[in-house]
Structure 1
Amino acid sequence: MTDDEVWERPTGEPEDETVVAGPWRLTLRATELADISHRGVPLLRAVRFVTRDHDWRTADDTLIRRTVEVDEDVPTAHVRIEAASGYDGTEVLRYVLDVSIDATTVLVDAVGTTTSAFRRNRIGLVVLHPPTLAGLPFTVRHPFTGPTRHAFPTWIAPHQPATDVDGYEWTVDGIDVDVSLGGDVFEMEDQRNWTDASYKTYSTPLSQPFPVALDAGTEVHQSVALQAGPSGTTGSGGTASPVTDLASLDGPASTAVVGPPPTLQLLAGTAPAAARPGDAALLRGVPVLVEPVLEDPDAAAVLASARRDAGGAPLDVRFVTDDPHLLRAAVDAVLRSGPVVRIGACHPATHVTTVELQRALRDAARSHGGLEVVAGTRAHFTELNRTIDLFGDWDGPLTFSVTPQMHDRSRAQVTESLRMQRWVVSSASRLAAGRPLHVGPVTLRPRFNAVATTPPRVVADATVAGGHGPEFVPDATDPAQHSAAAGDWFAASVVALTVPGVVSITLAEAWGPRGVVSSDGTHSPAARVVERSISA
Structure 2
Amino acid sequence: MAQKKPSRAIKLFGTEVPEGKRCELSAGPISAIFDRGALRYIRYHGEEVLRRIAYIVRDKDWGTYAPAIENLKVRQLKDAFTISYEATCKDADQAIRYSAKIDARSDGTLTFSAEGTPLSDFLTNRTGFVVLHPLAGTVGRPVEVVHTDGKKEKRKFPKLISPGQPIFEIRSLKHEPLSEIAVTVLMEGNKFEMEDHRNWMDASYKTYVCSLLDPWPYTLKKGESFSQSVTLAVSGKPPKSRPARSAPGTIVTLAETKGRIPQIGLGVPMVEAAAALQAADFIAAAKPHALVCQIDGREQGQKEAAANFRELSAQTGVPVTLEIILPAKEPADKEVSAIAGAVNAAGLTPASVVITQMHDLKSFQPNTPRPWGPTYEEMAAAARACFPDAVLGGGMLSYFTELNRKPAPLGLFDFITHTGCPIVHAADDISIMETLESLPWIFASARAMIGKAPYHIGPTSIPCRDNPYGAAVAPNPDNGRVCLSDLDPRQRGLFAAAWNLGYLSAAAKARVDAVTLGSATGSQGMIYRKLAHIQPWFDGGGARVYPTYHVIAGLTAASGARRTNTDTSAPSKVATLAHRSGGGQVLWLANLTGETQRLKISGFEGPAKLHVLDERSFQAAVRDPGWHRGGATFIRKVGSLELPSYGVARIQSG
1:43 aligns with 2:49: yes
1:530 aligns with 2:552: yes
CA shift, 1:396, in A, is 2.4
Comparing 296-305 with 201-210, greater Cα deviation is found at: 296-305
Write out per-residue CA displacement over residues 197-250 of structure 1, whole angstroms, 9 at most, x where no aligned residue. Answer: 110000110010011134443434210011111179xxxxxxxxxxxxxxxxxx
Structure 1 vs Structure 2: percent identity of aligned residues? 24
CA RMSD between the two structures: 3.2
Per the alignment, residue 101 of structure 2 pairs with 98
* 1:423-442 alignment, distance < 5 Å: 423-442=441-460
Per the alignment, residue 340 of structure 2 pairs with 331
CA contact (8 A) 1:380 1:403 kept: yes
Equivalent residue letter for 1:210: W
Aligned partners of 1:25 and 1:10: how far apart in 2?
A: 30
CA shift, 1:333, in A, is 4.6
Distance 1:14 1:127, change over 3 A: same
Comparing 518-527 with 125-134, greater Cα deviation is found at: 518-527
Aligned partners of 1:496 and 1:474: how far apart in 2?
A: 23
Per the alignment, residue 397 of structure 2 pairs with 378
Of residues 378, 385, 409 in structure 2, which corresponds to 1:359? 378
Distance 1:280 1:293, change over 3 A: closer
CA contact (8 A) 1:426 1:499 kept: no
1:148 aligns with 2:153: yes
Equivalent residue letter for 2:357: H
CA contact (8 A) 1:13 1:30 kept: no
CA shift, 1:413, in A, is 1.1
Write out per-residue CA displacement over residues 453-472 of structure 1, whole angstroms, 9 at most, x where no aligned residue. Answer: x4999xxxxxxxxxxxxxxx
Aligned partners of 1:257 and 1:339: how far apart in 2?
A: 35
Aligned partners of 2:527 and 2:103: how far apart in 1?
A: 49
CA contact (8 A) 2:199 2:400 kept: yes
Distance 1:481 1:371, change over 3 A: same
CA shift, 1:403, in A, is 0.7
Equivalent residue letter for 2:119: T
Equivalent residue letter for 1:303: A
CA shift, 1:291, in A, is 2.7
Aligned partners of 2:224 and 2:276: how far apart in 1?
A: 46
Per the alignment, residue 415 of structure 1 pairs with 433
Per the alignment, residue 443 of structure 1 pairs with 461
Write out per-residue CA displacement over residues 490-525 of structure 1, whole angstroms, 9 at most, x where no aligned residue. Answer: 122111112465222111121123211111571111
CA contact (8 A) 2:457 2:515 kept: yes
Per the alignment, residue 217 of structure 1 pairs with 223
Per the alignment, residue 136 of structure 1 pairs with 141
Per the alignment, residue 593 of structure 2 pairs with none
Equivalent residue letter for 1:166: R
* 1:309-320 alignment, distance < 5 Å: 309-310=312-313, 311-312=315-316, 313-320=318-325
CA contact (8 A) 1:192 1:423 kept: yes
CA shift, 1:347, in A, is 1.9
Per the alignment, residue 266 of structure 2 pairs with 266
Aligned partners of 2:221 and 2:294: how far apart in 1?
A: 39
Of residues 393, 396, 400 in structure 1, which corresponds to 2:414? 396
CA contact (8 A) 2:380 2:413 kept: no
Write out per-residue CA displacement over residues 74-101 of structure 1, whole angstroms, 9 at most, x where no aligned residue. Answer: x2221113333345x8773332220011
Equivalent residue letter for 2:450: A
1:295 aligns with 2:298: yes
1:194 aligns with 2:200: yes
Per the alignment, residue 19 of structure 2 pairs with 13
How many residue pairs get matched?
A: 491
TM-score by length of 2: 0.69
CA contact (8 A) 2:396 2:417 kept: yes
TM-score by length of 1: 0.83
- Structure 2 portions without partners, runs of 5+: 1-8, 239-254, 363-371, 475-482, 531-542, 559-654
Distance 1:50 1:275, change over 3 A: farther
CA contact (8 A) 1:256 1:499 kept: no
SS in 2 for 1:316: strand
1:31 aligns with 2:63: no
Per the alignment, residue 353 of structure 2 pairs with 343
1:484 aligns with 2:494: yes
* 1:459-498 alignment, distance < 5 Å: 475-498=485-508
CA contact (8 A) 2:40 2:51 kept: yes
CA contact (8 A) 2:455 2:512 kept: yes
Distance 1:184 1:395, change over 3 A: same
Aligned partners of 1:280 and 1:455: how far apart in 2?
A: 30
Comparing 10-19 with 46-55, greater Cα deviation is found at: 10-19
Distance 1:231 1:171, change over 3 A: farther
CA contact (8 A) 2:165 2:193 kept: yes
Aligned partners of 1:369 and 1:217: how far apart in 2?
A: 62
Equivalent residue letter for 2:213: S
Aligned partners of 1:269 and 1:364: how far apart in 2?
A: 20
Distance 1:275 1:215, change over 3 A: farther
Aligned partners of 2:443 and 2:467: how far apart in 1?
A: 21
CA shift, 1:269, in A, is 4.5
CA contact (8 A) 2:360 2:398 kept: no
Comparing 27-36 with 316-325, greater Cα deviation is found at: 316-325
CA contact (8 A) 2:262 2:507 kept: no
Equivalent residue letter for 1:200: K
Equivalent residue letter for 1:228: V
Aligned partners of 2:510 and 2:33: how far apart in 1?
A: 38
Of residues 347, 365, 387 in structure 1, which corresponds to 2:406? 387
CA shift, 1:149, in A, is 1.0
Distance 1:70 1:435, change over 3 A: same
Distance 1:280 1:266, change over 3 A: closer
Distance 1:276 1:381, change over 3 A: closer
